[in-house]
Amino acid sequence: ISSFKGFMAEFRKGFHYIRAEKGLLIITVYFFVSTLTNIGMDTLWIPYFESVPTLGIMAYSYATAINVAGRLVGGGLQYRLALPAKKKFAIAMSVYVLSCIINGSVLFLPFILMVIFFFVDGFLSVISFNVRLSTTQSYVPEEYRGRFNGCFQMVCNAGMIVGQLLAGALAKSYSCRAIIIVLMGTNLIAALAIMYRGRRHVMPIFNRDV
User: In angstroms, what CA-CA distances link 118 with 64, 207, 208?
Assistant: 7, 28, 29
**Ranked by mean pLDDT, which of 17-21, 80-84, 186-190 comes out on top?**
186-190
Q: How many CB atoms lie within 10 A of CB 4?
A: 8
Angle at 71 between CA 67 and CA 76, to 5 degrees: 150
At residue 75, the pLDDT reads 81
The pLDDT, as a whole number, for residue 81 is 76
What is the per-residue pLDDT across 141-193, written as a single tens digit (0 to 9) for each? Answer: 888 888 888 899 999 999 999 999 999 999 988 999 999 999 999 999 999 99
Structure confidence at residue 27 (pLDDT): 95
Name the residue with higher pLDDT: 166 or 9. Answer: 166
Q: Which helix (H) or strand (E) holds 159?
A: helix 142-170
The CA-CA-CA angle for residues 189, 194, 199, to 5°, reads 125
Residue 2 pLDDT: 56
Q: Greater confidence, 95 or 78?
A: 95
Assign 175 to helix, strand or coil.
Answer: coil
Cβ(43)–Cβ(163) below 8 Å: yes
Per-position b or e across 178-189, b if 16+ CB within 10 A of its CB: ebbbebbebbbe
| Residue 1 predicted with pLDDT over 50 | no
140 alpha-carbon distance from chain centroid: 20
CB 178, CB 57: distance < 8 Å: no
Query: What is the pTM (predicted TM-score) of this model?
Result: 0.89
Q: What is the pLDDT of residue 82?
A: 77
Q: What is the pLDDT of residues 98-145, one digit of tens each?
A: 999 999 998 888 888 999 999 999 998 888 888 888 899 889 888 888
What was the pLDDT predicted at 34? 95
In whole angstroms, give the CA distance from residue 112 to residue 103: 15
pLDDT at residue 83 in the model:
80
Would you say 111 and 55 are in contact if contact means Cβ atoms under 8 Å apart? Answer: yes
pLDDT band at residue 32, thresholds of 50, 70 and 90?
A: very high
